[in-house]
Amino acid sequence: MRLIETQSKETLSRWEIDYCQQVIVPLWCKYYPYDQRPQNALNGAREWLTGAIKLTQAKPIILECHAAAREAEGNPVAQASARAIGHCASTIHSAQHCIGLAFYGAIAVAYEQLGTDEPFAEIEQFAAQECGRMEGA
């Protein structure tokens, strides 16, 4: 949180979009390769950052990503991935949304690497390590 508080929402958004594009979007696409709503959310956030669209135009696109997350119930990797992407894209609205990447993105990576049947302490430890990798990215 201390790091987040020192950055603008534009800086946070750019960093998160890049990270999600490289790490989180492939997790979503592994399970839902034809559902472009998470990618569209990132694209909408990018367009807002360049001034190509207004926030009122980006919001519905981002909300569709959140809908994709709800529809992915039963697939923890995909659901956490879409939630991470949705929060990442929502950072253009409020910098505090970026914490969603740490929560959902890290758990998506942990679930993908370890599965969901591992003891939660191991999953949590892996997720914490992923948060460290995020911070270093």
Neighbours of 131 (CB within 10 A): 17
How do residues 7-18 score in pLDDT, each as one tens digit? 788 988 999 999
Q: Any alpha helices (H) in 20-97, and if so which ranges?
A: 25-31, 37-50, 55-71, 76-90
Q: Which two tokens stand for residue 136?
A: 């270093």
More confident residue, 4 or 42: 42
| Residue 6 φ/ψ, nearest 5 degrees | -95, 0
Inform me whether the pLDDT recorded for 116 exceeds 90.
yes
Enter the pTM of the model: 0.92
